[in-house]
Amino acid sequence: MSDKLALKGAALSFAFLVLILLAWYGATAPSTPPGTAAASSASAEYDALMGKGAAADPDAIKGFPTPMQFAEVAARNLAAPFYDNGPNDKGIGIQLAYSLGRVGLGYLLAMMVAIPLGFAIGMSPLLYRALDPFIQLLRPISPLAWMPIALYTIKDSTVSSIFVIFICSVWPMLVNTAFGVAGVRKDWLNVALTLEVSPLRKAFLVILPAAAPAIITGMRISMGIAWLVIIAAEMLIGGTGIGYFLWNEWNNLSIANVLFAVATIGVVGMILDRAFGLILKKVTYAE
């Protein structure tokens, strides 16, 4: 039954994709009024002679690209993803590596803080009551609101972007870890108490496996937020990264490359989310 449902879902997704491509093609298909074909041809030849236009520059696509133009731009970007022609001209692979590196470092720092602190909060009602006001005050603040403060205090744009990833990743992991630890069944804790299990063994052999689904869910949410935030942060700080690549292509009025960057961001975000989804399936068990 599940296989049939998955097959039907894939077929429906493909149908939606075909409809989107047809609508895209219909919206961007060139319309040439009668009597203007010769003028357009002469204009194209003139642009080519003057070193302008698509004949001389494949990226010089006027307006919103057609599906075929987008495919050509995507193929050209993917053909040489790691080229480096200077500060403002790097391949998409290099830009993604910078973004993923910043996200990975900030996310790792958030894990090192959020998961142990979440364990402590979940196991101590007193600590929960003491820290809950601070968590509720800081959690709703937009991560980008911290960027000016980080830039002023840290005085380094790259480290500031990593700090922003840290601050946006820490809250979902912290809250979900505390929720998962506090929700461990009392029966299991009583069995551990009866067997006189040490606190460290109880934490790793009883509490951690029981709270793992909630912890992984918090990590999954944090990764999604971190990937969203790094794009906006790189658009602000500039230099390198997929967010900077997108903003730079917008400044160059290359809508095709902007769309390619948007698609790349979506694909990478989907891969990261699916990876955490697979981990969640591994640690989730049926009672």
- 86 belongs to a structural domain: no
Average pLDDT, the chain: 84
Closest-CA residue to 233 (of 173, 174, 154) = 154
pLDDT tens profile 193-227: 777 777 777 777 788 888 899 999 999 999 999 99
- Residue 157, in any domain of the structure: yes
pTM (global) more than 0.75: yes
Is the per-residue pLDDT at 144 higher than 70? yes
Q: Which two tokens stand for residue 251?
A: 């400044």
Taking a C-beta distance cutoff of 8 angstroms, is the pair 161, 102 a contact?
Answer: yes
At residue 51, the pLDDT reads 45
Residue 32: which residues within 8 A CB-CB, separation 6 or more? 40
Euclidean distance between CA atoms 242 and 240, whole angstroms: 7
Q: Domain for residue 199, yes or no? A: yes
In a domain, 179, yes or no: yes
Nearest residue to 275 (alpha-carbon basis) of 224, 237, 234: 224
- The reply to whether 8 falls in a domain is no
Higher pLDDT, 106 or 88: 106
pLDDT value of position 261? 93
Does a structural domain hold residue 232? yes
Q: Which domain holds residue 244?
A: 92-283
DSSP state of 146: G
Collect all residues with Cβ–Cβ distance below 8 Å to 234 and sequence separation of at least 6: 98, 99, 102, 161, 240, 241, 242, 243, 244, 247
Calculate the CA 83 to chain-centre distance: 23
Least confident of 109-123, 227-241, 264-278: 227-241
Q: What CATH number is given to the structural domain containing 279?
A: 1.10.3720.10
Number of domains in the chain: 1
The two structure tokens encoding residue 225: 């937020």
d(CA 143, CA 59): 34
34 domain residue, yes or no = no
5 within a domain of the structure (yes/no): no
